[in-house]
Amino acid sequence: MPVDPDALDGLLAGRGGFEAAYEKLVAAAKAWLQTYGGDSGGRALLRQLEAADVVDTAFDRLFTEGFSPGEDVYLLLRRHIRNHIRTIAKSVKERQTVRVDGDEESTRIYLQQTDPLEQSAPERALIIDDLEYCMKVLFRMTSEVKDDPQVLALVSAIIEGFRDPDEICVVAELTKPQYDATFKRMKRRFAQILAASEEDKK
């Protein structure tokens, strides 16, 4: 570990102290590595990384650039971890479509990955349009759900590319019961924005 844990214990008290915060950061890094890891390019390199090493690198960068105390430290570390992983992975491009399950009792997110080169031109356009439209709605949600931090964290995780509920719980720092309740609130807001968008088109 490149830093003195005792020196950060007070700064990270809001996250349970250094050891608790460090464990959460490692868990988040592990989830990001699993999400962005793959079989080729930078994504293949991610499979060789250890989550703890990525967290340590984030601490190194934190103390190199300077920081503000308290919560800013924790959030900045998360940003460093995510950016480090995404930088390695960014050379590989995938086409994804996202569908939030419409069943009120369900808390599932569906992900479809396709190679756009294997599709006909109209099919490619449909996939791209669906993805862009869905992302527009999700990005719009980030500005409209600031009154609900848990929904905001969940939407942010989906935008970042997370689909597995367990990984979303780690990244958004939600318990499973919180995830279930938050997902249902998110779906209601998602439906409201979709309905408003359709009204705007008329």
Q: Check whether 113 has a pLDDT greater than 80.
A: no
- Of the ranges 32-41, 91-100, 115-124, 177-186, which is most confident? 177-186
Residue 38, pLDDT > 70, answer yes
The reported pLDDT for the residue numbered 26 is 92
pLDDT band at 144 (very low <50, low <70, confident <90, very high): confident
Where does the pLDDT of residue 165 fall: very low under 50, low under 70, confident under 90, or very high at 90 and above?
A: confident
Tell me how far the alpha carbon of residue 191 is from its chain's centroid. 21
Provide the residue ranges of all domains of the chain, joining segments of one domain with +. 5-89, 95-201
Residue 138 has pLDDT above 70, yes or no: yes
Distance CA 22, CA 4 (A): 12
| Torsion over CA: 63, 58, 78, 170 (sign) | negative
Both tokens of residue 182?
Answer: 């938050």
pLDDT class of 128 with cuts at 50, 70, 90: very low
What is the DSSP secondary structure assignment for residue 13, as one 8-state letter? G
184-187: list long-range contacts, CB under 8 Å, 24+ apart. 184/104, 184/107, 185/148, 185/150, 185/151, 186/100, 186/141, 186/145, 186/151, 186/154, 186/155, 187/100, 187/101, 187/102, 187/104
Query: Mean pLDDT over residues 18-42, rounded?
Result: 86
The more confidently predicted of residues 77 and 65 is 77
The DSSP-derived string for 75-120 is: HHHHHHHHHHHHHHHTTS--EEEEEE---TT---EEEEEE-GGGS-
Q: What is the pLDDT of residue 35?
A: 83
Whether pLDDT at 119 is above 80? no
pLDDT band at 105 (very low <50, low <70, confident <90, very high): low
Helix (H, G, I), strand (E, B) or coil at 37: coil
Please, what is the average pLDDT of the chain? 73
Nearest Cα to Cα of residue 192 among 152, 150, 140? 140
